Chains A and B, each alone.
Chain A
Amino acid sequence: MRELLVDIKALSLEMVTLDGVARVLNGVNLTIHRGDLVGLVGETGCGKSVTAMSIPQLVPQPPARYSGGEVRFLGENVLEKSAEELRRLRSRHIGVVFQDPMTGLNPVFSVEQQMVDALLSKQDLLAATTLGRRWLPSSRMQRRHAQERAIALLRRVGIPEAEKRIHAYPHEFSGGMRQRVLIAMAIAGRPDLLIADEPTTALDVSVQAQILRLIAELVREIDLTVLLITHNMGLVAQLCNRIAVMYAGSVVESGPVRRILREPQHPYTRGLLQAIVTEKTGRGTLQGVPGSVPSLYEPPPGCRFAPRCQEARPQCTAALPRLRQSAPDHQVACVLYEE
């Protein structure tokens, strides 16, 4: 059995806002083993990003507040870690690629400065080579080494004339190029886990494929474990080997991609798969999931999906169904599969 990298157990999270307390996560369960490529899918606002960002603890608190459960990374609960321990975890073990590359880089520093800082930070050398100590000969040497590595990384992620372009500022790069820079920074420390939060949503369609190909290549090259957040089922089918489907703050189904694509069990997963356009989809036959996402402030009783579910039964509204083994390596949270 491969090493268990991430183990999220019954994680609950609330957001305190002016409108009240939003129950964003209601007992999320998710495991990631080393070498997995997990696709986390679901509608906007279902808690995908919050779940993923809970692993490196990048959810701003407040407004967020963890109200239960645990997030274990390599066996240790990150919810109990100190700020400095979390910083080390982020710099050495987890890389994150965010959705919008246009705003992810600091506009007033050159790409070189930002990459060198990120690289040094991953070696825990940043504090010793920045601010007042910046002009020490040893710092300058460290920075020069980091600069060489940064150029190599930029080449690796496909930036032409990297040794020249590295001196440019973010506004001189296109969106796709900026995302490449951000990917280079995220994989610089050879992290155990790469979290990619809709890495192509903000890009042009033509660039999306390039970025995805880059991520796929990197995965093969440096044995990355990836958590890919997306609402694009097709993407998951192509890139991932496992899938976790979220709905209104819970994981409702998870398992190997092939199995779930062939035999989806949860009615919501089935609805999602029917909403994909393929060449077999006839004109006018495209189906969505009827109804709309429930309120996070006053969620419906029991299964959150029950009000939209065509197979809902009386016992659906009694309690939130737990994620159970329905087949080997396949979990689903639905009363239809409870004995």
Chain B
Amino acid sequence: MLRYLLNRLLWIPVVLILLSLVTFVISRLVPGDPVKLAAGPQARPEQIEKMIEEFGLDRPLHEQYLRYMGGLLQGDWGYSIGNRRAVLPDLLTYFAATLELTVVATLLGLLVGIPLAVVAARWRDRWPDHLSRFVSIGAVSVPVFWIAIVLQLVFGQLLQWLPVSGRFDPRQSYPQSITGILLLDTLLAGNLPGFWTASRYLLLPALCQSLLVVALITRQLRGDLLEMLRKDFVMVARANGIQERILWSRYLMKNAMIATVSMLGFLIGFALGGSVLIEFVFDWPGIGQYATKAALLLDFQVIMGSTLFIGVVVVVVNLFTDLAYRLVDPRIRFS
């Protein structure tokens, strides 16, 4: 186990170096001139000259790369050519928002998806099964931004229950940042009204993002549960007089969860890269928005930074998924 972990950890830098190389080359090869874009149409040639020199764009490519990587190791991720803000602090702020949204959406998805799958499998081909199928197929076939807008209309406009955009009420003082995750920061500060406000702002985007989790988990887990139900060990457990409730929650669930765990890892890794559509509709300041805006402005330092950062996150999530997978399935743990 330890050897496996070490082996995996040693591979991470290799993956990241390869990723940085590819991103670097692509960010320099894309058509369009970031300097001209940032300087604006009225910029004089000597201003542009100065900016090119400032960002080292006149140097050979390999030197630029080495300088960038050197800075990276010292915690200097460069700064945005657009607004001149340092990349790393901004990245962390935006990522905290994405992390908060993803964690809550995933938990919400699990909370709804697992019972829905169990109910569907338990009453196969009866109305609970049909209902769960309708929900999950509906959730994946309707575009997420459309669902987002409908949610905004119903809960924000019609019922006026929930705010429809942003992370926090602008009329209240913004909570002091400790982790950047508002739910945690307000709790740590003992600021319960702030926690309540933050939760209300989070609910709609999280609900929206959780739909995909619900849909995929329900389908996957229902199928796996039904497959497990046909296994001989179920017959043996029944012959030994194990209660159906325990059979389902303990014996079947752990077996059936194996595929769901790896799918969940993929889903979380994907979501931590930012859900651009949801972030735009709800004006959620996540990493998806940050990276997309940078891409539109050819803000190469930010593009590099966010790509590498998301790369690290995905690699780490994958590692955790593998560990979780091993925890569930002893056949892999020992081989």
Query: Which chain B residues in 133-172 approach chain A with CB under 8 Å?
Result: none
Instruction: Determine if B236 and A105 form an interchain contact, defined as CB atoms under 8 angstroms apart.
Output: yes
Instruction: Determine if B243 and A121 form an interchain contact, defined as CB atoms under 8 angstroms apart.
Output: yes
**B57 on interface, CB distance cutoff 8 Å:** no
Min CB gap A86→B, angstroms: 9
Query: Chain B contacts of A109 at CB under 8 A?
Result: 251, 254
Query: Chain A contacts of B235 at CB under 8 A?
Result: 58, 98, 104
Instruction: Determine if B250 and A131 form an interchain contact, defined as CB atoms under 8 angstroms apart.
Output: yes
Min CB gap A101→B, angstroms: 9
Q: Which of B184-192, B263-271, B292-300, B326-334 contacts A (4 or more CB under 8 A)?
A: B326-334
Query: Chain B contacts of A39 at CB under 8 A?
Result: none
Instruction: Determine if A106 and B251 form an interchain contact, defined as CB atoms under 8 angstroms apart.
Output: yes
Min CB gap A91→B, angstroms: 2
Known: A90-B240, A121-B241, A186-B239. A130 touches B330 (CB 8 A): no
**B83 on interface, CB distance cutoff 8 Å:** no
Residue-wise interface mask of A (101-112) relative to B, using a CB-CB cutoff of 8 A (1 in contact, 0 not): 001111111100
Instruction: Determine if A185 and B328 form an interchain contact, defined as CB atoms under 8 angstroms apart.
Output: no
Instruction: Determine if B330 and A171 form an interchain contact, defined as CB atoms under 8 angstroms apart.
Output: yes
Nearest residue in B to A124 (C-beta to C-beta)?
Answer: B241
Instruction: Determine if A90 and B232 form an interchain contact, defined as CB atoms under 8 angstroms apart.
Output: no
**B238 on interface, CB distance cutoff 8 Å:** yes
Q: Which of A96, A106, A126 contacts B233 (CB 8 A)?
A: A106
**B249 on interface, CB distance cutoff 8 Å:** yes
Q: Which of B240, B249, B254, B329 contacts A121 (CB 8 A)?
A: B240
- Identify the A interface with B (CB < 8 A): 56, 58, 83, 87-88, 90-92, 94-96, 98, 100, 103-110, 117-118, 121-122, 126-127, 130-131, 169, 171-172, 182, 185-186
21 contacting pairs across A/B (C-beta < 8 A): A56-B239, A58-B239, A83-B244, A87-B238, A92-B241, A100-B232, A104-B233, A104-B235, A105-B233, A107-B233, A108-B328, A109-B251, A117-B237, A117-B246, A118-B237, A118-B240, A126-B243, A127-B245, A127-B246, A185-B236, A186-B239
- Identify the B interface with A (CB < 8 A): 231-233, 235-246, 249-251, 254-255, 258, 328-331, 334
